[in-house]
Chains A and B, each alone.
Chain A
Amino acid sequence: MFKKILLATSGAPSTFGAARVAFDMAKRYGAEVVVFNVMGVPTKAFSQVVNDVRTGEEIEVDDEYRAWVEEELKSTFEKQIESVEYAKIVTTTGVPSREILRAARAEDADLIVMGASSGDSSAYRKGYPGSTLQRVAKAARCPVMTVHRETASYWGGFGNIVFATDFSKQAENAFKFALNSAKELGCDLTLFHALDISGKVLDQNDIEDKLIAARARIRETYGPLMGDFKDFDIEVWEGVPYVEIVKIARERSADLIVLAHHSRELDPELASIGSTLEQVILRAGCPVVSVSKPDKV
């Protein structure tokens, strides 16, 4: 199911968790890892000067610098690169989200794996809103896995997957991915919906009714798609969605959370605070996969 994994990394320690997951998966599935690095964000109009993604310093990209970055990446991930059958390093300059998307398309990647903050240039963000993650998650054709914490990188493979649905169209795509993964990896799957009661005044009976309805809706929506897969259960909890998603993931000792990304909002002030996806990524103890498009699931 994963033939090619695009690991988007700045090479900084904050992306080591992502790297570990990417390489472990590649090892398990014989996939190729493309270690992808955006060296700098173009600045100063048409000149060769870019802002280094890591340090924010101005650098001039030439063959020498490129070679140096590649060497750095090679030694950072040396052991891991050796442990998989196919790996290559690709570097470029540009706006990180754009270049990650471009590379995923060019490489026909089946999965993008990245850290939660793969090099956001604040100067860039002001002009073009949206964090790298939001932009990649929104537009990628393939699922995007984010590994926020080093501890979140898994050690023993995936055993429990939580799929959180908001019944959107994108959630169908996310469901397919979750189900396929569960089948392929032999995991337990929890189908979960968080009934959003934030900012609402509902009485207990109302809540109960809605919980029952949501359960039924999950059963109706996804039940027929289960085929012969049996290892699943359904949960519906009320609360603030991201909190509940993180809670159930913890309760089930989930190794993976799968959810849809379908926010059209890219303005960081509006989206990042409200975005369930981002909050889940920041708070979850395990990798999070977001799915937006029906391809590659």
Chain B
Amino acid sequence: MPEGKFCNKTPINTEEQLKATLGDKGGKQYYEEMNQLDVDSDKLWASIQKTMKSRTKTWLEICAHCGLCAESCFLYQVNGRVPEQVPSYKIQSTLGVMVKKKGKVDNAFMQMCMETAWSKCTCCNRCGMYCPLGIDMGVMFSYLRGLLYSQGFVPWELKIGSGMHRVYRAQMDVTTEDWVETCEWMAEENEEDWPGLEIPVDKVGADIMYTCNAREPKHYPEDIAEAAILFHVAGENWTVPSEGWEQTSLSMFAGDWECCKDNVLNVYAALERLKPKRAIGTECGHAHRATVIEGPYWAGRPDGQPPVPYIHYVEWLAEALRTGKLKIDPTKRIKEPVTLQDSCNYVRNQGLKDVTREILSYIVEPGYFVEMAPNKEHNYCCGGGGGFNGIGKYREQRNVALRKKMEQILDTGCKLVIAPCHNCWDAIRDLEEEYKIGIRWSFLKPLVIGMLDVPKHLLPPEE
């Protein structure tokens, strides 16, 4: 059967294709076409032979089927602890079978794999911590997603998502002009309250190059303004690149590795061009994972590091508070029970658990910070990770997935949740929308701005 108009093995590479696929409401035609899509078994098997690392192979072979990983997976917990949600089962019944059959699988099998890969695993990597053999389903599912993507079995939104990255090099249709314009606009909008506020574009040799998530210029440009305000108050010498500013990677969730590489190279090119001392990414978990943790490998960097030290926003913020570049007015600290969402993508993947708590020690009145249980590297996914949040087809499953986070938050008794990750922020918002438990949520930036002890000379002249 020939490939469909929308659902096929070719990535979206042009704006035209992108718009056409977007126009297919809810992916209706896309999913119909998927029912007819052939599996190219030879190609699939060739690809497995070429790309499957010995680690993955070993993992598939050595799994003892002991089931110790079951309880570690939040999706297993919230889905009635059915065997189909046991991490090892999920991977053995998909990738495991695909390998065993040397790629000779059919359409129905591939669709089952797709459903498993995108609605039964958020690549949160929690199970990997509990398996006695260190087998990590998050890693294996990422690999499986790549195989599925190359065969055209990928949820509609993620095909579009990686298409966006391919066409605009951003997860949304934000062009270079839009981006630069937004920076000017935000500086202008806030210069009265913050005299001297600037968002310098393409400054060579600054101390910091800042990168963000395309959602910011698209819908929430105040986030960029807030970053600017905090850099300004901290007296940082910083810049944003006109190209290579978008740090997120829906292509990573889609399994479009070629696109991942292209995007991260684009960011790294900005680093090479502007030669900052270091780079700082916004409050986004997967953006950090894509650019800082996995990116160097996609880009083939031998040292496994980005071209310059690249830190997450929470690291900069903690440093700025620690060194006194930013000062908090103690009377303005949070004086209500508040809890923290640990983003898997930078906590479990990079160990940034203590810096976030250090930040809280400055901005929360002692005694008011309530930990979720479990927390830090043991924390559960927000419920919407790995692309789950955005996939219409699996909305119901995603809503079920939110329950774990809901329980965790309810147990803390807090009404305020700090979520320094765009995707977690979205999931928690959706969680409130869905279950109405009466909570508020926030990034760190606006909270900190509200509590700053601003030096007189940075304030607007008295009226």
Which residues in A have some Cβ–Cβ distance to B below 8 Å?
42-49, 60, 62-64, 94-95, 98, 101-102, 105, 123, 126-128, 139, 167-169, 264, 293
Contacts of B395 in A (CB 8 A): 44
Return chain B residues, CB-CB under 8 Å to A139.
189
What distance in Å separates the Cβ of A115 from its nearest Cβ neighbour in chain B? 22
Contact among B192, B193, B390, B433 for A45, CB-based, below 8 A: B390
A62 touching B25, Cβ below 8 Å:
yes
Report whether A45 and B441 are in contact in the complex, using a CB–CB cutoff of 8 Å.
no
Known: A44-B389, A47-B389, A126-B429. 7 other contacts (CB 8 A): A46-B157, A46-B172, A49-B392, A98-B219, A123-B433, A127-B440, A128-B220
Query: Given contacts A47-B390, A49-B392, A128-B220, are A64 and B189 in contact (CB under 8 A)?
Result: no
Across the interface, do B219 and A95 meet the contact criterion of CB distance under 8 Å? Answer: yes
Q: Which residues of the other chain, B, contact A62 by a CB distance below 8 angstroms? A: 22-23, 25
Among A46, A95, A123, A264, point to the contact of B390 (Cβ < 8 A). A46
A33 to B: closest C-beta gap in Å: 23
B224 shortest CB reach to chain A, Å: 12
Q: Is B74 an interface residue (CB 8 A)?
A: no
* Binary contact track B412-436/A, C-beta < 8 Å → 1, others 0: 0000000000010111011011000
Query: What is the CA–CA distance of A139 and B441 in the complex, to the nearest angstrom?
Result: 24
Please tell me if B200 contacts chain A, counting CB pairs below 8 Å.
Answer: no
- 6 tightest A-B CB contacts, nearest first: A45-B389, A47-B390, A45-B390, A46-B390, A45-B426, A169-B463
- B215 contacts the other chain (CB 8 A): yes
- Bound Cα distance from A47 to B158, whole angstroms: 9
Report whether A46 and B215 are in contact in the complex, using a CB–CB cutoff of 8 Å.
yes
Would you call A293 and B392 a contact (CB within 8 A)? no
Would you mind naming 29 contact pairs between A and B with Cβ atoms under 8 Å apart? A43-B430, A44-B426, A45-B389, A46-B161, A46-B172, A46-B215, A47-B389, A47-B391, A48-B22, A48-B157, A60-B25, A60-B26, A62-B22, A94-B218, A94-B219, A95-B219, A95-B220, A98-B220, A98-B221, A101-B189, A123-B429, A123-B432, A126-B429, A126-B441, A127-B440, A127-B441, A128-B222, A139-B189, A293-B192
Max chain A CB contacts within 10 Å: which of B25, B171, B221, B250?
B25
B11 close to chain A: CB less than 8 A: no
User: How far, in angstroms, from A48 to B172 measured CA to CA in the complex?
Assistant: 10
Q: Kindly report which residue of chain B lies nearest to residue A124, judged by CB atoms.
A: B429
Question: In the complex the two chains form, what is the Cα distance from A131 to B432 in whole Å?
Answer: 19
A49 CA to B160 CA in the complex, in Å? 13
Q: Contact between A264 and B222 (Cβ–Cβ < 8 Å)?
A: no
How distant is the Cα of A63 from the Cα of B219 in the complex, in angstroms? 20
What is the minimal beta-carbon distance from B246 to any residue of chain A, in angstroms? 12
- CB pair B429 A127 closer than 8 Å: yes
Find out whether the CB atom of A47 lies under 8 angstroms from the CB atom of B392: yes
Q: Give CA–CA (A105, B184) in the complex, Å.
A: 12
Quick check: B392 and A63 within 8 Å, CB to CB? no
A286 to B: closest C-beta gap in Å: 28
**B427 contact set on A, CB distance < 8 A:** 45
Pair B250/A46 contact, Cβ less than 8 Å: yes
Question: Measured between C-beta atoms, what is the minimum distance from B394 to chain A in Å?
Answer: 11
| Complex-state Cα separation, A139 to B193, whole angstroms | 11
Chain A residues with Cβ under 8 A from B157's Cβ? 46-48
With both beta carbons as reference points, the residue of chain B lying nearest to A172 in the complex is identified as: B463
* B442 interface residue per 8 A CB criterion: yes
> Chain B contacts of A126 at CB under 8 A?
429, 432, 440-441
When C-beta atoms are compared, the residue in chain B nearest to A51 turns out to be: B433
Chain A residues within an 8 Å CB radius of B26: 60
Query: Which B residue's beta carbon lies closest to that of A169?
Result: B463
**CB neighbours of B222 from chain A (8 A):** 98, 128
The answer for the CA separation of A62 and B27 in the assembled complex, in Å, is 11
Q: Closest approach, in angstroms, between the C-beta of B3 and any C-beta of chain A?
A: 23
Contact of A42 with B219 at beta-carbon distance under 8 Å, contacts A62-B22, A123-B433, A127-B429 already known: yes
With CB as the reference atom, state the residue of chain B lying closest to A265. B450
B430:A127 contact, CB within 8 angstroms: no
| Contact across chains for A44 and B219 when beta carbons are under 8 A apart | no
Give every chain B residue within 8 A of A48 (Cβ-Cβ).
22, 157, 160
Nearest Cβ distance between residue B440 and chain A, in whole angstroms?
6
Residues of chain A with a CB closer than 8 A to B295's CB: none
In the bound assembly, the distance between CA atoms of A35 and B392 in angstroms comes to 31
B384, CB-defined interface residue at 8 Å: yes
| Chain B residues within 8 Å of A168, by CB | 463
The answer for the CA separation of A154 and B390 in the assembled complex, in Å, is 46
Closest B residue to A267 by CB, please name it.
Answer: B450
Tell me the nearest residue of chain B to A101, going by C-beta: B189
**Residue in A closest to B182 when the chains form the complex, CB atoms:** A102
Instruction: Kindly provide the distance from the CB of B356 to the nearest chain A CB, expressed in whole angstroms.
Output: 19
B426 → chain A, closest Cβ, in Å? Answer: 5
Whole-angstrom CA separation of A154 from B221 in the bound complex: 36
Q: Mask for B177-209, Cβ within 8 A of A = 1, else 0?
A: 000000001000100110000000000000000
In the assembled complex, the Cα of A168 lies from the Cα of B192 at a distance in Å of: 14
For B23, B189, B425, B433, which residue has the most chain A Cβ atoms within 10 angstroms?
B433
In B226-242, which residues have CB < 8 Å from any A CB?
Answer: none
Cα distance A293–B192 in the bound complex, in angstroms = 9
Q: Residue of B at shortest CB range from A95?
A: B219
Residues of B within 8 A of A60 (CB): 25-26, 392
A79 to B185, CA, bound (A): 35
Point out the residues of chain B lying under 8 angstroms from A169, CB to CB.
463
Inside 8 A of A44's CB, which chain B residues have their CB? 389-390, 392, 395, 426, 430
The complex places the Cα of A286 from the Cα of B215 at a distance, in Å, of: 38
Q: How far is the CA of A290 from the CA of B139 in the complex (A)?
A: 55
Contact in complex: B189, A45 (CB < 8 Å): no
Q: Give chain A nearest CB distance to B5 CB in angstroms.
A: 16
Q: How far is the CA of A194 from the CA of B219 in the complex (A)?
A: 39
Contact with A along B427-457 (1 / 0, CB 8 A): 1011011000000111000000000000000
Q: Is the CB of A105 within 8 A of B185?
A: yes
Most A CB within 10 A of own CB, among B193, B390, B441:
B390
Least Cβ distance of B179 to chain A in Å?
Answer: 13
